[in-house]
Amino acid sequence: MLDIKFVRENPEVVKENIRKKFQDEKLPLVDEVIELDAENRTIKQEVEGLRAQRNKLSKQIGGLMAKGEKDEAEKVKAQIAADAERVDELSAREKDVEERIKKIMMTIPNIIDPSVPIGKDDSENVEVERFGEPVVPDFEIPYHTDIMESFGGIDLDSARKVAGNGFYYLMGDIARLHSAVLAYARDFMIGRGFKYCIPPFMIRSNVVTGVMSFAEMDAMMYKIEGEDLYLIGTSEHSMIGKFIDTMNKEEDLPQTLTSYSPCFRKEKGAHGIEERGVYRIHQFEKQEMIVVCKPEDSPMWYDKLWQNTVDLFRSMDIPVRTLECCSGDLADLKVKSVDVEAWSPRQKKYFEIGSCSNLGDAQARRLGIRVVGKDGRKYFAHTLNNTVAAPPRMLIALLENNLQADGSVRVPEVLRPYMGGLEKLEKIQK
């Protein structure tokens, strides 16, 4: 969410940013919110004047009564009553205006970084760098669920009966590998100096609207019926929410946290939930990283965060690349974002396995995450987030890139301590 003062003083900058995000339908909101802001400030001035006048007139009543000027005193009382009615009227209007201002301000997108490429959607995202050499073996790579089934590691039919499409049972060595990836990702981030955390898996509506746009909320979040609670779509939501309405000492920043959680997503508007695949699903688990820092430090942390993911995947010999998200692919709160994609030998292309984002002070402004400097200056923090590892997507990359010609899967060396020393997964003999 932008500062209303910034919008007031830079309306054309805000409009141009909206155009860069190809959201021209939001252009009229800029002029509307500026008009509402002017009205709001006028209301506040009039209310302040009326209250000052009430205090002044109230002091006159006693003096007039003491002088026996009862009629004059009654006139003053009548004026005070009229002013009180006017204050009530203005206060009601003020509340309506401020609610409308807040709704508009939460709809106007954040100002994107000048380095963000301009494009309408994810088809215009820009490759930045590749890490590791993509390999296509001389034998056929089966579909990922076929690989899992060869180890007796997945049951989609039972899951469909229990919960519908978009769910799965992982079993045996595949389930174990899933847990090993998460445990390794946890320890990897602890080794990078991040504090481990397990957060609440449900959050209140004020936290939801604090961490994401209304469009994202509608497309992603599951609401708990009869409660002011939502299932989290990622632990970033509750981790950033941890700092709601806080005043943080500058010397205590940055806050660097890595968190585990299950994630729940409606995937509304997606291209359908595959019956056989586990790439786009309603429920999965993830290791996340978040940073709360000083504004001047957020570009540095942005680069550190995506590099963490690249390093994690490369430690498992999985080739990856980074993809700069274009303006039209950025969620409204984001200043800048990069996707990390893993190589798929089967598809002979890369696919998304994580996303790193700098949100500037947008979430902090919505949630009231403030910082106080040693000089007493107060300002909003910057927040960032990034995926460490999100099985089962990571499992797809791991299985495909480590599949052997005989159908076995090599367990990356870094995962073996989490697999009881197991060096490879062997197919179940039927």
Q: How many CA atoms lie within 13 A of 389 on its CB side?
A: 27
Mean pLDDT calculated for residue range 71-97: 91
- Residue 74's pLDDT is 84
Tell me the percentage of the chain whose pLDDT exceeds 70. Answer: 98
pLDDT(275) > 80: no
Same domain assignment for residues 240 and 100: no
Domain that holds residue 265: 122-425
- Residue 58's pLDDT is 84
Report whether 287 contacts 234 (CB < 8 A).
Answer: no
User: Which of residues 73 and 42 earns the better pLDDT score?
Assistant: 42
Does a structural domain hold residue 300? yes
Alpha-carbon gap, residue 144 to 128, rounded angstroms: 27
Q: How many CA atoms lie within 13 A of 236 on its CB side?
A: 24
Residues in the chain: 430
Does a structural domain hold residue 114? no
> How many CB atoms are located within 10 Å of the residue 244 CB?
18
Q: How confident is the model at residue 272 (pLDDT cuts 50, 70, 90)?
A: low
CA nearest 12: which of 32, 33, 31, 25?
31
> DSSP label at 123?
G
Same domain assignment for residues 203 and 300: yes
User: Which of residues 199 and 58 earns the better pLDDT score?
Assistant: 199
Mean pLDDT calculated for residue range 334-358: 97
Same domain assignment for residues 321 and 397: yes
How many domains does the chain fold into? 2
Q: How confident is the model at residue 187 (pLDDT cuts 50, 70, 90)?
A: very high
pLDDT(8) > 60: yes
pLDDT(336) > 70: yes
Does a structural domain hold residue 116? no
CA nearest 256: which of 197, 182, 310, 198?
197
- Residue 273's pLDDT is 58
CATH code of the domain containing 224: 3.30.930.10
Same domain assignment for residues 82 and 159: no
Q: How confident is the model at residue 430 (pLDDT cuts 50, 70, 90)?
A: low
Report whether 305 contacts 384 (CB < 8 A).
Answer: yes
Same domain assignment for residues 250 and 399: yes
Contacts of 197 (CB under 8 A, 6+ apart): 239, 257, 258, 259, 260
> How many CB atoms are located within 10 Å of the residue 408 CB?
16
φ, ψ for residue 176, nearest 5 deg? -65, -40
- Residue 382's pLDDT is 98
Same domain assignment for residues 47 and 170: no
Does a structural domain hold residue 112? no
Same domain assignment for residues 127 and 85: no
Does a structural domain hold residue 273? yes
Same domain assignment for residues 212 and 346: yes
- Residue 208's pLDDT is 96
Tell me the torsion sign for CA atoms 42, 44, 47, 53. Answer: negative
pLDDT in tens, 360-393: 999 999 999 999 999 999 999 999 999 999 988 9
Same domain assignment for residues 269 and 302: yes
Q: How confident is the model at residue 129 (pLDDT cuts 50, 70, 90)?
A: very high
Mean pLDDT calculated for residue range 192-207: 97
pLDDT in tens, 210-258: 999 888 888 899 999 999 999 999 999 999 999 999 999 999 999 999 9
CATH code of the domain containing 75: 1.10.287.40
338: which strand partners? 324, 356
Tell me the percentage of the chain whose pLDDT exceeds 90. Answer: 86
Q: How confident is the model at residue 271 (pLDDT cuts 50, 70, 90)?
A: low
pLDDT in tens, 276-333: 788 889 999 999 999 999 999 999 999 999 999 999 999 999 999 999 999 999 999 9
For residue 300, the one-letter residue type is: M
Q: Is 315 left (phi over 0), alpha (psi -120 to 50) or beta?
A: alpha
Same domain assignment for residues 96 and 172: no
> How many CB atoms are located within 10 Å of the residue 409 CB?
23
Can you state the percent helix, strand and coil of the chain, rounding each to 5? 45, 20, 35
Mark which of 46, 76, 105 sits at the end of a domain: 105
Does a structural domain hold residue 289? yes
- Pull the structure tokens for residue 255: 């806050």
Does a structural domain hold residue 117? no
pLDDT(96) > 80: yes
Same domain assignment for residues 88 and 228: no
Mark which of 105, 137, 168 sits at the end of a domain: 105
- Pull the structure tokens for residue 383: 């927040």
Same domain assignment for residues 27 and 90: yes
Does a structural domain hold residue 271? yes
pLDDT in tens, 22-66: 999 999 999 999 999 999 999 999 999 999 888 888 888 878 887
Mean pLDDT calculated for residue range 332-338: 97
pLDDT in tens, 130-173: 999 999 999 999 999 999 999 999 999 999 999 998 899 999 99
Mark which of 105, 133, 167 sits at the end of a domain: 105
